[in-house]
Amino acid sequence: GSPTYAADLASVIFSIIQFPEWKPGIYHFSNEGVITWFDFATAIKEITGTAVQIKPVSTSEYPTKAKRPAYSVLNNEKIKNNFGIQFKNWKKSLESCIQQIKNAPE
């Protein structure tokens, strides 16, 4: 999949609202790049310097009630083409998110 940083989503929505011409439709947004949940957890560990063990598990080892497709990456081409929006890479956005959390007052 592709993670979505809420701050990036808010920025994209704001850009669309300000766009001079409204182009109705259904639009998808997620940050650039494709990763697994294991990759995401590993990146968080690396960025934060947390000393934890992360064990990958297969989809069959993690059953859910909801049926999920094996490959579920959103297609962002329509929003890029219609509004000229540049997407940030998921890892850059994850780094920004973690920095925001670290800098937040307790």
Count of domains observed in the chain: 1
Residue with tokens 């650039």: 32
Task: Tell me the pLDDT tens digit for each residue of 85-96.
Answer: 889 999 999 999
Contacts of 23 (CB under 8 A, 6+ apart): 82, 83
User: pTM of this prediction?
Assistant: 0.84
Q: Is residue 36 in some structural domain?
A: yes
Full residue range of the structural domain in which residue 67 is found: 6-103
CATH code for position 41: 3.90.25.10
Task: Tell me the pLDDT tens digit for each residue of 6-60.
Answer: 999 999 999 999 999 989 999 999 999 999 999 999 999 999 999 999 999 887 7
Taking CA 70 as the corner, what is the angle to CA 62 and CA 39, rounded to the nearest 5 degrees?
Answer: 65
Residue 69: pLDDT band with limits 50, 70, 90:
confident
Residue with tokens 């182009």: 23
Q: Is residue 1 in some structural domain?
A: no
